[in-house]
Amino acid sequence: MRLFRTLAATLASSAVAFSAALLGGSQALAVEAPQTAAQPSRIAAPGTDFTGIAALSNCSASLVRYAESLSTDKALVLTNGHCYEGGMPSPGQVIVNRASTRSITLLRPSSSNAGTVRARRVLYSTMTKTDMTLYEVNETYASIQSRLNVTPLTLAKQAPANGAGMAVVSGYWKRIYTCSVQTTIPELREAGWVMKSSIKYQQPGCETIGGTSGSPIVSTTTGEVIGVNNTGNEDGEQCTLNNPCEVDAAGNITVDQGAAYGQQTWWLYTCLTASRTLDLNKSGCQLAKPARR
């Protein structure tokens, strides 16, 4: 996870402050229609503009929908778990259905600010297995489109294939990185966090930086969100903060300085109900679950 160094120096004195520091832009731990599924926005050149992109105070984000979402559903915003305003979730911690009033800036395709929406709750946030926070905002997709003329990106239902074209679209920096998926890493370790099936980027092209955390990884073929950008190895260290290491199926550890990674988001569908809510107890749900007390 990458953070702004100045913020890290200021807040590194306590665990809570440390979490806020990592939050600080860290890349690693960086219309109303009939009651039918709303149709995804048609993008002439997927990943080449800022359609559906959002900015937070410390990270990037995106306005997203499920393939089955209705225009009357409350809209969703996706970012990283380590961008959560309450501080980074601890290893193993899963936050669900927590109230939020976070302000989120939505962008026009040109990257200029379209306006803001406000979160009403955190549906899901964790840095375990994946690294994502999913907000529900206080407006519907139809309302946002009518008021701000902003349309969402659709979440892909499957993991990306090796070699797939991709773009990391940062609302924080209003910058687009393009490259392709190099491979999927079985396990990524960073400090005490463990992420599974991480997306590794084929360089050059996606040398992401602090502040790009939470950016959607957009398929340049379909325009769907295939993951969420979150980390990279900055200094060549092994499994430390801002220096994730790769672990293969046999347990062998590899360090690739300069490598950048994103996390899986399609797992949301495995926990999705017919009413488009998340049920972590649903059979086959692959998201990390809160610890039982």
Q: Is the pLDDT of residue 20 over 90?
A: no
Report DSSP letters for 188-219, one per residue: EEETTEEEEEEEEEESSS----TT-TT-EEEE
Q: What is the dihedral of CA 114, 116, 121, 123, to 10 degrees?
A: 20
The per-residue pLDDT for range 121-138, each reduced to its tens digit, is 999 999 999 999 999 999
Taking the complete model, does pTM exceed 0.85, yes or no?
yes
The pLDDT, as a whole number, for residue 278 is: 97
Secondary structure, 3-state, 139-178: EEHHHHHHHHCCCCEEECCCCCCCCCEEEEEECCCCEEEE
Q: pLDDT band at 292, cuts 50/70/90? A: confident
Residues 192-197 have a mean pLDDT of 98
Neighbours of 47 (CB within 10 A): 23
Which pLDDT score, from 0 to 100, does residue 44 have?
A: 55
- Residue 41, judged by CB atoms within 10 A of its CB (0-12, 13-18, 19+), counts as middle
Per-residue model confidence as pLDDT tens digits over 151-160: 999 999 999 9
CA distance 54 to 79: 9
DSSP state of 284: T
Per-residue pLDDT averaged across 26-54, rounded? Answer: 60
Q: Which residue has the higher pLDDT, 27 or 227?
A: 227
CB 152 within 8 A of CB 52: yes
CA atoms of 22 and 151, how far apart (whole Å): 30
Closest CA to 132 of 25, 215, 54: 215
Q: Indicate left, alpha or beta for 81 from its phi (over 0: left) and psi (-120 to 50: alpha).
A: alpha
Q: Per-residue pLDDT averaged across 282-293, rounded?
A: 91
For the residues 213-222, what does the mean pLDDT come to? 97
Could you tell me the pLDDT band of residue 31, with boundaries at 50, 70 and 90? very low
Residues 75, 64: Cα–Cα separation, whole Å: 7
Residue 286 has pLDDT above 80, yes or no: yes
In degrees, rounded to 5, the angle at the alpha carbon of residue 12 between the alpha carbons of residues 7 and 16 is: 100
